[in-house]
Amino acid sequence: MSGKLEKMLIEGYISPFYVGKAMESYSVMFNPTTYSRQFKARYFDTQALGESEPKQVFNKVDAREYSFEFLFDGTGTSAPKTSVSDELDAFFTVCGKVTDNLSRPMFLKLSWGDLLVKCILKSADVSYTLFTPDGKPLRAKASCTFQEYQSDLLNAAIKGIGGEKLSQAFEVTGDNKYLSSLAKTVYDDPALYMEVAAANGLAAIRQPLKGLNLNFPPLK
């Protein structure tokens, strides 16, 4: 351990596969002191004729949600003096701005220590707690909830849907990517690069992939 303070980094991507470089990024002013992670499973209540108690039939597990509280301080007492309004603008440019390329906010990656979450911003509640005499904010708190994000392709692969329903393809637009890194991005397992190569008829495993349209098979 280096002992160096590492700030939480929020990166915004255009691609739901998180390929290429992040389009925007924001390093928080202060790391959160706590955060929560929510797990929720959904069930159907069914009751057959003659049964006294309903049975709970599993439906699905909702995407996990992570809640954080971020502090923005422009007083200069705990961090270099800055504009709280500018800091909030920079934060929401990454997390909440509707981009021209997507017509929706970007796909996010949160990284901090052992935490690595691919997600979207679900909600943010900003409260202002300190002001200059002329009304400019000096401190603010943003209570944010992020929801894990998985592409439709990855969801289909996890569920083992047949290849005919996996006709989606995406073009590799970043710098030369290798199949192992793409398999890591889509399946979270770089060892599946051989399945990707076979599905796309690629003979040279380490060939440059930029500009190619790749399909991904269902997980076995």
The Cα–Cα gap between 142 and 65 comes to 16
Q: How many domains does the chain have?
A: 2
Residue 81 sits in the same domain as residue 171: no
Q: Are 133 and 86 in the same domain? A: yes
Looking at the chain, the whole-number percentage of residues with pLDDT higher than 90 is 45
Confidence of residue 219 (pLDDT cuts 50, 70, 90): low
Other Cβ atoms within 10 Å of 128 Cβ, number: 16
Question: Which domain, by its residues, includes 178?
Answer: 162-214
pLDDT grade for 209, boundaries at 50, 70 and 90: confident
Considering the domain architecture, whether residues 188 and 112 belong to the same structural domain is answered as: no
Flag whether 219 is in a domain. no
User: Is pLDDT above 70 for 1?
Assistant: no
The reply to whether 63 and 127 lie within a common domain is yes
- 157 is a domain residue: no
Using a 10 angstrom Cβ sphere, with 0-12 exposed, 13-18 middle and 19 or more buried, the burial of residue 6 is exposed
What residue has token string 């003659």?
50
Q: What is the pLDDT of residue 213?
A: 74
Whether residue 183 sits in one domain with residue 77: no
Residue 130 has pLDDT above 80, yes or no: yes
Tens digits of residue pLDDT in 39-65: 998 888 776 666 777 788 888 888 899
Question: Per-residue pLDDT for 146 more than 80?
Answer: yes
Q: Are 32 and 136 in a shared domain?
A: yes
Does 135 share its domain with 167?
no
Do 44 and 121 have their domain in common? yes
Amino acid identity for residue 63 in this structure? A
Average confidence score pLDDT of the chain = 81
Confidence of residue 169 (pLDDT cuts 50, 70, 90): low
Residues 21 and 54 in one domain: yes
**Are residue 81 and residue 134 in the same domain, yes or no?**
yes
- The pLDDT, as a whole number, for residue 14 is 83
Q: Is the pLDDT of residue 149 over 50?
A: yes
Instruction: Name the helix (H) or strand (E) containing 45.
Output: strand 41-46
pLDDT at 137 > cutoff 90: yes
Per-residue pLDDT band for 154 (boundaries 50, 70, 90) equals low
Predicted TM-score (pTM) of the model is: 0.68
Confidence at 116, pLDDT banded by 50, 70, 90: very high
pLDDT at 65: 96
Q: Are residues 104 and 23 in the same domain?
A: yes
User: 62: domain CATH number?
Assistant: 2.40.30.200
Is residue 98 included in any domain, yes or no? yes
Contact 94, 10 (CB under 8 A): yes
